Amino acid sequence: MRKIIAILLLVPLMLMGIGFDPNDKNKIEILRHFDIPASFLRDPSLHDVYSQKKRDTSLQGFDDTSENANLLLPMLSSLIAQSDLPNEFLYVVLAESQLEVDSTSSHGAAGLWQFMETTGKLQGLQVNQYVDERRDHIKSTRAAIAYLSSLKKQFGKWYLALIAYNCGDGRLTRAIQKAGTTDLNVLADPKRAYIPHESRNYIRTVVALAFLGSEDPYLSQFTSTQEAVENPIATVYLPKGEKIDRIAAVLEMPKTKLISLNTHLKKGVTPPNAQSYPVYIPKEKLEAFQQKFQPKDIQGYFIMHRVKSGETLDQLSKRYNVPKNSIMMENMIGDNEDRNLNRRVKIPITKPFLKNPRLYTAKSGETLASVAALYNTTIEQLKLKNPFASNVLKEGEEIKVAD
């Protein structure tokens, strides 16, 4: 069926002939935003790319580009509108990744803006065992904006900045020197091949998508200069070791949806080497987050409790001096599930809720330093109370922590 539709779409294009209307004011204006002369409308390869993209979007639709388009497109539009980039640079992302949040090229480029690791790090994006900020939708967008702006300052034209973004500033510099001009009609000439084939196709693809986007009611709202689009993604800062799964439960939203907004977190948790780290949630969930989220002061300190018949969360809260909400979030328990739970429940024991017993029983692998941190004291103070204790504690060893 799709093949039939494609053939039907081809017929009117063939009847219209090759090329654009040289007086099309809308397309001339879009070219102007890229610093491209109106004469580029006569480029036959540009029309070929446009025709192919038009067939593709007629079959699939722009708004079906990504499951997250309704969040990502307004976010991108909002950040671009705050910069010196033309609004049409939104289509750079469509050319790079088609808004696929897990997109990775065969060369190793990643994220919405398809940064290589070396280039990403040069733009201030972290890539390590915990995070890959090339996949951080907001940080990578800001990095791409800064990078493209710097390329514009270097080469003087937006279309040259785009070509350099694709093939590198050194490659473009050599091409300009060889061609003796920055004229796009010369640089993009396939017969002369001053710039790589991929880059020639790239600049035409971005322009063609901008043409098509201006004709699409859904996309044109994001490139219109009449009214700024609000960013529907909110940034919240979470402590180290916080799990995306737990945040999804707090917000009562699908885990997969939240993960797709935070693909930069490789392990699904905030990195342990940062006191706080940005995580993205839908702005519509921000009030719920502010009301319900309770951070865990110490990660990994908990006990397991076997719930007895008829035992309630209120009783557990009083017994262990831990807020009911903390137990609910740790175990993803709802208000209607607090009776007759015939299972083990994890009780988070964090600094504010410790009862400060006089003696602490060491667990396997614990040290005086870890116990000191747990009780907000120092190793020296513990040694005064426990003169015969070694720095490495034995499992079951009792340590005096209070007078």
Q: What residues does 359 pair with on adjacent strands?
A: 400
**Which of 96, 133, 330, 366 is labelled catalytic?**
96
Which residue in 97, 88, 300 sits closest to 209, CA to CA? 88
Both tokens of residue 241? Answer: 């070791």
Which contiguous run of DSSP H or E holds residue 165?
helix 158-167
Torsion, Cα 121 235 250 326, to 10 degrees, reads 80
Distance CA 190, CA 171 (A): 16
For 323, residues 6+ apart whose C-beta sits below 8 A from its C-beta are 294, 317, 353
Cβ atoms of residues 302 and 349 within 8 Å: yes
Distances (CA, A) of 363 to 255, 283, 356, 357, 380: 33, 42, 17, 16, 20
Task: Name the DSSP class of 243.
Answer: B
Cβ atoms of residues 137 and 261 within 8 Å: yes
Q: Which residue has the tokens 């065992």?
A: 129
The number of beta carbons lying within 10 Å of the beta carbon of residue 250 is 20
Q: Please indicate whether residue 227 is annotated as part of the active site.
A: no
Cβ atoms of residues 110 and 103 within 8 Å: yes
Which residue in 358, 353, 359 sits closest to 398, CA to CA? 359
Q: What are phi and psi of 78, to 5 degrees?
A: -65, -45
Q: What residues does 115 pair with on adjacent strands?
A: 110
End-to-end CA distance of the chain: 81
- Residues annotated as catalytic (active site), given as ranges: 96
